[in-house]
Amino acid sequence: MYRNGMTTEIGVRSTSGVAAFLTGVYYWMTFALGLSALCAWAVGTTPALTNLVYKNPLLLTVLIVAELGLVIAVSWGINKMSAATATALFALYAALNGVTLGYIFIVYTIPAITSAFLTTTLTFAVMAIIGSVTKRDLTRLGSILLMALIGLIIASFVNIFLKNNTMGWIITYAGVLIFVGLTAYDAQKVKQMYLTMGGDMETNRKISVLGALTLYLDFVNLFLMLLRIFGGRRN
């Protein structure tokens, strides 16, 4: 982490390259979101694709497992792959995630989706800026939020069987708070990754892809939580 005792090299890097690096991170994140939105719209508005994906439990399960595998591959194996491979896997994940999220165009109205998206974009932007510019170390907050996220995942799994509506809403609102906080934490973490590990173009590209994936996950999960709160389900 960068603190007052950072080396001269890191100090120079922070003033000369951090803006370009963060631009790259948010470029790849935006690209992935656009790709996911396009795939989701195609699946959710094309009856043939809707039936293919959502009336075939085996295919849907394979897609979800593939998504998980891609996230693990990029997150844990990025040091062993080229930047081009990492980028391709990230793009593939974004496309598959869009396919599995096509249901939102079936379940929710366009105004509800638009409102949730705009709210998510504004909230995400504010928290990402805070995380990027604050001098406060958010590591401790991040650790707490990650533990809370694990609890949220467990509670969500349990509620699949309980089908408790009240618990479902508690999970949703808690999820919003968790991902709002994680956005600031991850934005700072991505910047720190560049300051401590950035170097040649290949390394910087891999760090930017990994950072884009992390922030993409924050954005999508925050969007889904807010979409449920906004409601606007089709009749």
Please state, in angstroms and rounded to a whole number, the distance separating the CA atoms of residues 172 and 159: 12
In the chain, % of residues over pLDDT 70? 93
Higher pLDDT, 31 or 196: 31
* 154: Cα within 13 Å, side-chain hemisphere: 6
Least confident segment among 12-21, 41-50, 188-197, 213-222 = 12-21
- pLDDT, tens digit, 9 for 90 and up, residues 26-68: 999 999 999 999 999 999 999 999 999 999 999 999 999 999 9
Per-residue confidence (pLDDT) for residue 173, from 0 to 100: 97
The residue among 191, 222, 152, 183 whose CA lies nearest residue 22 is: 191
Rounded mean pLDDT, 71-93? 96
> Which residue stretches of the chain are H helix?
8-16, 18-45, 47-54, 57-77, 83-100, 104-107, 110-133, 139-162, 165-197, 201-230
Per-residue confidence (pLDDT) for residue 1, from 0 to 100: 35
Per-residue confidence (pLDDT) for residue 8, from 0 to 100: 41
How remote is the C-alpha of 42 from its chain's centroid?
21
Q: Does the pLDDT of residue 9 top 60, yes or no?
A: no
Tokens (6 digits) for 74: 């990029």
- Contact yes or no for 223/116 (Cβ under 8 A): yes
Rounded mean pLDDT, 92-110? 97
Per-residue confidence (pLDDT) for residue 91, from 0 to 100: 98
| pTM (2 d.p.) | 0.91
Mean pLDDT of the chain: 91
Q: Does the pLDDT of residue 74 top 80, yes or no?
A: yes
Check residue 81 and report its DSSP letter.
S
Indicate the angle between helix axes 165-197 and 110-133, nearest 10 degrees: 40
- Contact yes or no for 171/217 (Cβ under 8 A): no
Per-residue confidence (pLDDT) for residue 4, from 0 to 100: 40
- Contact yes or no for 184/155 (Cβ under 8 A): no
Q: Does the pLDDT of residue 15 top 60, yes or no?
A: no
